[in-house]
Homo-oligomer: A and B are copies of this chain.
Amino acid sequence: MKTSLEVLKQELLDNNIHLSHQRLKVLEYLIQNHNHPTVEQIFTDLHKDISTLSKTTVYNTLRVLEDAGLVRVITIEGTETRYDIEVENHGHFKCKSCGKIYDFEIDMNVLSSPDLEKFQISDKDVYFKGICPRCSQH
């Protein structure tokens, strides 16, 4: 499994990133919660276990993980930033009614454009919005 903790820990070590207690907890949290949590959610939940945890640390850690390419930042809406363990080939759908974000499989490799011939592309994000099945059956 690609998102196993052990594999990711090794990736951090390969990137010369120190595996502190807090960082591991954030990483574990993201592995166990694929529901695209916000910083607030991550902080609130982890705070129950680590009472000394600071929100700044959560921000710092997420940036470290993002820079290492382990975590994907979802900015589908300007008002909220969400985080996701990096998984290839999927887009994000946000329901305008209930607000839930769904993953969907999509082949990013198909996504290319002659306009970008000379561009170096490092990130591809696909965001859809609309109404999810649960909300549309009202």
In the complex, what distance in Å separates the CA atom of A123 from the CA atom of B130?
7
Interchain CA distance A124-B113 in the complex, whole Å: 16
Residues of chain B with a CB closer than 8 A to A118's CB: 133, 136
Complex Cα distance, B103 from A103, in Å, reads 25
The size bracket of the interface on A is: 35 or more
> A120 in the interface, Cβ–Cβ < 8 Å?
yes
B136 touches A116 (CB 8 A): no
Q: A-side binding surface: helix, strand, loop or mixed?
A: strand
- When distances are taken between beta carbons in the complex, the residues of chain B under 8 Å from A93 are 116, 119, 121
- Least CB separation from A125: chain B residue: B127
A113 with B105: CB separation less than 8 A: yes
Q: Are B131 and A120 in contact (CB under 8 A)?
A: yes
Interface pair A113/B122, CB less than 8 Å apart: no
Chain A: residues with CB nearer than 8 A to chain B? 73, 75-78, 81, 91, 93, 96, 102-106, 110-111, 113-116, 118-133, 136
